[in-house]
Structure 1
Amino acid sequence: MTKISSMEKITEQLDHVDVQGFTVIQVKYSEKSKAAHCIYIKEHNVREEDKCKPKATTLFLLNIPPYCNEEHLRHMFSTFGKVLRVYLHEKPSSGPPHKDVSKYFPTVKLHQGFKVAYIVFRKPDAIMRAKNNPYSKPLIISSEDPHKCTSTGMGKWCKNYEEERINVDELQQEIDTYMADYDARIEEEKQKAKDMEGVPDDDGWVTVSKHGKNKGIPWKESQEKKVTAREKKKRKDKELLNFYSFQIRETKREQIADLRKKFEEDKQRIALMKAARRFRPY
């Protein structure tokens, strides 16, 4: 007990802790929380200039816990200066994170583990104030009442369940919007193909589309059926041709085998005639 209490006193007296170029800051979920979590911060500095994350005003953070979101980070670090933007990533990267437009058809899998973050301040001195924050003074992640908070425990699971339930009206509206955009894109591509038909490109090539003799007039359904039937007949004829070719090859093999058999029989007959002295070639 004596060693543990002495270590606690030393920890309480620490004002600044650095680990491999990162400044260590303790964070707690609420004022009443007894356990603290450590995050690591340093000034964002990369070779290539990033418009979303300027070097002089961007703070880079590691070891962000899963329950901490953009609003929590904005709430914590707004005490050091005006926060303009907050970005959460699965790993260090340039540019803003990709966000799905669709709620029901996401293209990016949501990362549930620890993350990295970028905080963009309005003024550069806010970074120094954040790095000078005493280690013994933890930042509070959430200002909500822990008993009423829906970001942890049973409240979090209930919130996730409610978010995962499908709203039929919203889903239908999203599908209708997507189909309308798709139809408009297809019509635009068709119109562009019509406009480009007969016009040579830079290399002199001319784009040809599925139209009849009258340019600009698309094929009718009957013409499409004729073309489809013609293509099917071609494939069938090709299959029959290949089948007949197989028969021809088999016939040739049989003829060659018969000739070899007759040749061997003739050799034996000649040998017998020579033995009987009846072989007279001239």
Structure 2
Amino acid sequence: MPKNSSAYYALQVRTADASSIRYLYLKSHTDFSEKVGAPLFVAGLGVSYDESVLTELFEIFGAVSQVALHQDKTSALVVFASPSSLKKALRTAAESKALTVAFKEPTETFGLKDWVEQHKAKTPGNRVLQQQLDEWMAQWEAQESQRQAAAATDAADEGWTVVTKQRGRKKNTDSGGTSVGSVAGAVAAAAKSRKSPKQLLDFYRFQARDRRRDNVLELQQQFEQDKKKIAEWKASRRFKPY
């Protein structure tokens, strides 16, 4: 329990259900400008203490003529009609007697406790943070899979066969390390016809890549033609491999 000092007296105030206890600090206010009644300075007020609550509380000691709350609402000035009421209030606090009030303290948090609760809400802990990260990663992976599937569909529509990496297999690459896939002949021919004859060969990286691709296509076409010739020779019995 707070100790009384030469300047202030601690008055213990309890709610009717004994759910909370608050200490109000009382002091005789001698510098009161209006020379009417007996002023008492009260500090340590709760957020639920207004003029009506203070009037009801201190009327136990005598008639209260005026109550003025400070701007910050943590202190107030209670003016008794009689100096004897002021002395009775100070004597009750000095004897460490408790007062019981009918109202209840608010259950919501205020001030520093409210700031602490807000900080805890912003930092829920490692377990909740890990769960949020897992959800975000799962959502990102799903979006990435959809993006890759859409890109593969677009490439297939343009005549490209997408070469994907599979476990236990390697990509087909040429001597330059370029991935090779089958390309529709009509698409490749159209792309080749659109090239400007004034372009410098192998000036850009994509030109060298396209040239290697065209070479592969020519080899594939030559291979198909050779297969047809061999088939024709076999049919005419002109093909004698031995």
Whether the TM-score (by the shorter chain) exceeds 0.5 is no
Report which of the two structures shows the higher radius of gyration computed on alpha carbons: 2
Q: TM-score range by the shorter chain?
A: 0.3 to 0.5
Structure of higher RCO (CA pairs closer than 8 Å, 6+ residues apart): 1
